[in-house]
Amino acid sequence: MATYGLRCCDILALTLGDIYWRRGEIWSRQRKTGNALPLPLTDAVGAILLHYLRNGRPRCSYRELFLRTRAPIEPLRRNAITMTFHAWVERSGLDIPSQGAHCLRHSYAIHLLRQGNTVKTIGDLLGHRTAESTCVYLRLALEDLREVALPVPQASPEQHEQRIQS
């Protein structure tokens, strides 16, 4: 979630067939938009997935990537990621003001903004249909938004007077 900004439902939908090791890609089928999003399989994520597949994922016929590790072995349920996130936040002792793992998506969006990406690019990566949706994720980064905003053209006093008269 922190690396790609995926939604919980997008992570739960990942299958073994969505990882393309040789091409260095992971494909996410975004549930909200229905779009397929190819993402680079970073070395860090690849190493974590490989460790999980070798040492953590139960052997079974399910194609979903992430499974319960205790009986009954089955794909993770909708609330599993949120519950796990809360458990790790509690262990960490961090004071995270946001409720749930979705705050990682917001952090990812702000990270992309600080790297100089446009709101359009950030929206595409997050799978948003509108810029308004993306801006909700960036509302906490007002100073960053001010840095990337274009200056407003200033009207001359004559142009201002003409607008008033018309």
Q: Is 32 among the catalytic positions?
A: yes
Longest dimension (CA), the chain: 77
Q: Does an H or E element contain 109, and which?
A: helix 103-114
Give residue 76's pLDDT band: very low, low, confident or very high (50, 70, 90): very high
CA distances from 12 to 18, 31, 37 (A): 12, 10, 15
User: Who has greater pLDDT, 104 or 153?
Assistant: 104
- pLDDT at residue 40, rounded to an integer: 94
* 28, β-bridge pairs: 37
Q: Which of 4, 105, 106, 108 is catalytic?
A: 105
Tell me, yes or no, if 51 is annotated catalytic. no
- Whether 86 is catalytic is no
pLDDT confidence tier of residue 137, bands split at 50, 70 and 90: confident
Give me the catalytic one of 4, 57, 108, 128: 128
Is the pTM higher than 0.85? The answer reads no
Report how far residue 67's alpha carbon sits from residue 74's, in angstroms, rounded to the nearest whole number: 6
* Mean pLDDT lowest among 78-87, 104-113, 144-153: 144-153
The pLDDT assigned to 43 comes to: 96
How do the domains of the chain map onto residue ranges?
1-96, 102-149
Buried b (16+ CB within 10 A) or exposed e, 52-83: eeeeebeeeebebbbbeeeeeeebbeeebbee
Instruction: Please pick, among 7, 57, 106, 108, the residue that the annotation labels catalytic.
Output: 7
Rounded to an integer, the average pLDDT of 2-21 is 94
Mean pLDDT, rounded, of the chain: 85
Q: Identify the active-site residue in 20, 23, 32, 120.
A: 32
20-70, pLDDT tens digit by residue?
Answer: 999 999 999 888 788 888 999 999 999 999 999 999 999 999 999 999 988
- Among 82, 109, 81, which Cα is nearest to 5's? 109
Give CATH for domain 1-96: 1.10.443.10
Q: Would residue 70 show up in a list of annotated catalytic residues for this protein?
A: no
> pLDDT grade, residue 138 (50/70/90)?
confident
